[in-house]
Structure 1
Amino acid sequence: MQTAAPRRDCRRFTRIIALALALTLLAASGLATAAGAICSAHSPAHRVALVELYSSEGCNSCPPADNWLSQWKNSGAAQSIVPLALHVDYWNSLGWTDRFSQHRFTERQQTLTDLAGGHTIYTPEIFVSGRELRSWSQRDSFQSRVGKVVAEPAQANVALELKGQAPGAFNVAAQFTSKAADTAGQLDAYLAVYENSLSSQVGAGENSGATLHHERVVRQWIGPVPLVAGSAQIRRDIRIQDTAADANVNAPADRFGVVAFVENAATGEVLQAAELAACP
């Protein structure tokens, strides 16, 4: 009986040491909950597939696409998939105004279509690394496109750092560098702030009476910022109350995040992308 207590103390001591080590590693990674927490991310050596969904709450064929995109809300990075939902505004005059819509997203959709030699834009429409994929709903087709992108070496690097500031605010610093010796066309840097866990009760239009749920909705869009001598930098102070759909500064930190990418302005091809959720 006298030997049992020392063994329990030993096990307890071991657990304490393990817990302390885990907390130390957590803090070092920038994931610990603390004021002024810093977290960072860097793009890998291979290309990452930026998946852009062009959607609208006024379109009754869009909710299935919104649901499809949401499967990569948290796990996309592990599969080298970075998802974004961009709500366009050309449905707004047909019965329901989408509060997440921005005209710049309509313009971007049209630009990508024009660069590919197309003419018509529509919803839902999917672009993978700047190239339209009409067969996105076919699992094999989507995986094949992503696989081809990921198999290529990255032509650019993207580094992200987020630092918590006052409640409901953070600073983002994004660094972009080109790895290509010579690139045909200007390279541009972009930064998008997204919001998760959004919902709307639609009162008119094709989705009248429905409650729609959205993930990865782009709320702020910064760019294009040209790469000069092969590099560019974007720094911004982000206030969640300026971004949040419900101005809820007490929303969980992982409700928000940023995506940064490098694009060839002449072709619309996305050379590399990185993402980072807001520090908790």
Structure 2
Amino acid sequence: MKLIMIPAIALTLFSAVFANQRTASEQPVHTGNGFAVLELFTSEGCSSCPPADALLARIQQEAGNKPIYILAYHVDYWNRLGWKDIFSDPRYSKRQYQYSQQLNSQVYTPQLVINGTSSCVGSDEAAVTNAMANALASPAEETLNIKAQLQSGKAALTYNVTGDAGNSRLLVAVVQKHAVSKVTRGENEGRMLSHVQIVRDLRTFDPGAGSAQISLPGDFNTQEWELIGMIQDSGTGVIKAATRVPL
């Protein structure tokens, strides 16, 4: 685990080794109408992050039709330490710092935030599995439905929200399902890293508007990319609903 103490001027890093006893195949059975949004804050410059990436890749592979939504945010504060992560974005570091205030947690990689309500070390398989079980067993506060039509480099969205969407916002993540990078410097020097569910863009909309438009990367296609929508409380950070966007 790599720990960043606030304020960011003093950057203190701690390393730890986590032994995981459970396998990703021991995923909880989905019996309710809950969902699990797993937001991983990671970096190619962090030697503790590849095990978390691998764990989420297994969860993604074995999730099947369960409402499990994985989002990997590559933060940028590791870039100053020898390797610039091409997937990093300062907006994702800002999102992690917002969570640190809302959850009263520290800032570190790999950190996993579950439904905006709790967090754990992203490579701690037992903690991740238990958090998913709790999330799937908790009823969703709202329902989100989104449809999209592709229109020459853009997606035209239509959506509706049922439930109390007051003080909430609609977030739509543009997600690259898989990528591989060869790291030539930093803590992972010489390693070939595999990533899943990489957030390449994150847009915010008014949930009451009913329609919106979002720009897509030039290489976007429906086999290698997807859109994931979320309703999130602006004050608490709690995610009240989530869904994949059919294209």
1:189 pairs with 2:170: yes
What is the distance in 1 between the residues matched to 2:57 and 2:210? Answer: 29
Aligned residue in 2 for 1:57: 44
Aligned residue in 2 for 1:270: 239
Moved more, 232-241 or 75-84: 232-241
TM-score (norm 1): 0.70
Q: 1:124: how far off?
A: 0.4
Per the alignment, in what secondary structure is the counterpart of residue 109 of structure 2?
Answer: coil
Pairs within 5 Å for 1:117-128: 117-118=104-105, 120-128=106-114
Q: 1:146: how far off?
A: 1.9
Aligned residue in 2 for 1:235: 212
RMSD: 2.3
Q: 1:152: how far off?
A: 2.5
What is the distance in 1 between the residues matched to 2:157 and 2:168? Answer: 18
1:203 pairs with 2:184: yes
Q: Which ranges in structure 2 are unaligned for 5 or more consecutive residues?
A: 1-31
**1:89-146 deviation digits (Å, cap 9, x = unpaired):** 000010011110010100110001101123x311000000013332554444333322
Q: 1:213: how far off?
A: 1.0
Per the alignment, in what secondary structure is the counterpart of residue 69 of structure 1?
Answer: helix
Q: 1:86: how far off?
A: 0.3
TM-score (norm 2): 0.78
Distance change (3 Å), C-alpha of 1:164 and 1:75: farther
Q: Which has the higher helix share?
A: 1
Q: 1:194: how far off?
A: 0.4
**1:161-207 deviation digits (Å, cap 9, x = unpaired):** 232444xx452415242413xx7x71111000000221111111111
What is the distance in 1 between the residues matched to 2:133 and 2:59? Answer: 16
Q: 1:62: how far off?
A: 0.6
Structure with max Cα Rg: 1
Q: Which ranges in structure 1 are unaligned for 5 or more consecutive residues?
A: 1-44, 242-247
Q: 1:77: how far off?
A: 5.9
Distance change (3 Å), C-alpha of 1:191 and 1:77: farther
Aligned residue in 2 for 1:259: 228
Distance change (3 Å), C-alpha of 1:176 and 1:72: farther
Q: 1:254: how far off?
A: 1.6
**1:36-94 deviation digits (Å, cap 9, x = unpaired):** xxxxxxxxx82311100000011011111111111244553622210000000000010
Aligned residue in 2 for 1:102: 89
The total of aligned residue pairs comes to 216
Distance change (3 Å), C-alpha of 1:75 and 1:165: farther
Per the alignment, in what secondary structure is the counterpart of residue 71 of structure 1?
Answer: helix
Aligned residue in 2 for 1:222: 203
